Structure 1
Amino acid sequence: MKRLLAALLLVSPMLCFAKAPTCSSWPTNIAIASLKNAGITDPTKLDESKTKAMLLASEKVGTDLYRQIYDITFYEKSGVTVQVITNSEASSSECSMSGVDVYVVARKIGGSL
């Protein structure tokens, strides 16, 4: 019994720290389309080389299924920035396991980001 418990303790950290998928492109592309549809900005105005997507949270919600929250900042060629927060689900084999909720950050108070 002690050996079984010791084996479980050795294996359990590996199970708990499974690597979440890197899926910033899916929410970024959907956010651009959502911003265009809302009349906030247009892809032709954006300098896509400056776009920054930072993963804020990734929570395992099922077998190989993660809920991911991204903070994405778009830079227009004019210098205007548009910041959004996205919420979507991804797996190791597919980034588009759900739709993408896009929230426009109207005003940011404090912080360094």
Structure 2
Amino acid sequence: MRAALKVVMAAIFAMPAAVALAKSPDCASWPTNMALTHLKNAGLIDIPSVIEAQTKAVRLASEKIGKDLYQQVYDITFHTKDGKTIEVITKSRASSEECSMSAVDVYVVSNKIGGSAEQPSEGTTKK
């Protein structure tokens, strides 16, 4: 009976660790930093002009595609000191050990139409 209790207790304490390992990794910083680099290299943004506190990254999808390998899609919005807003969608692969399991594909959102698309405020551009 005592041995069975030990097995049950060990299983209970092991469950949170197993669940945590199965959870999709939060890797917003990798695609955000790479998107910023790609935007700079394309001449679309000046990094010192970015208001870091206003940068917003929202994970849209995270699909398990292998053992501890996830394909992730983020919607990232950058705001600059001169009032510009630049929005991108990124796609990359991540694991629980490493966010940079692949290069980051960056797609610049040029226009949102229909649905809940917000209208740009005065002085704001969507590129």
TM-score band, normalised by shorter chain? 0.7 to 0.9
Match of 2:33 among 20, 29, 36: 29
Cα offset, 1:56, TM superposition: 0.2
Structure of higher CA gyration radius? 2
Query: Counterpart of 2:108?
Result: 104
Paired position in structure 1 for 2:94: 90
Q: Distance between the aligned counterparts of 1:42 and 1:68, measured in 2?
A: 26
- Which stretches of structure 1, 4 residues or longer, exceed 2 Å deviation after superposition? none
Gaps (5+ residues) in structure 2? 1-17, 119-127
**C-alpha distance in 2, partners of 1:112/1:95?**
30
Per-residue CA deviation, residues 34-82 of structure 1 (Å, 9 max, x unaligned), is 0000000111111011000000000000000000000000001111100
SS of aligned partner of 1:34: helix
Distance (whole Å) between structure 2 residues aligned to residue 104 and residue 49 of structure 1 = 20
> Who is 1:44 aligned against?
48
Match of 2:70 among 63, 66, 69: 66
1:76 aligns with 80
Give structure 1 stretches of 5+ with no counterpart: 1-13
CA distance in 2, matches of 1:70, 1:76: 19
Identical-residue share of aligned pairs (%):
60
Partner of 2:10: none
CA positional deviation for 1:109: 1.2
Partner Cα distance (1:69, 1:42) in 2: 24
SS in 2 for 1:36: helix
Find the aligned partners of 1:28 and 1:108 in 2 and give their Cα distance: 20
Q: What TM-score comes out, normalization by structure 1 length?
A: 0.83
Q: CA RMSD in A?
A: 2.0
SS in 2 for 1:33: helix
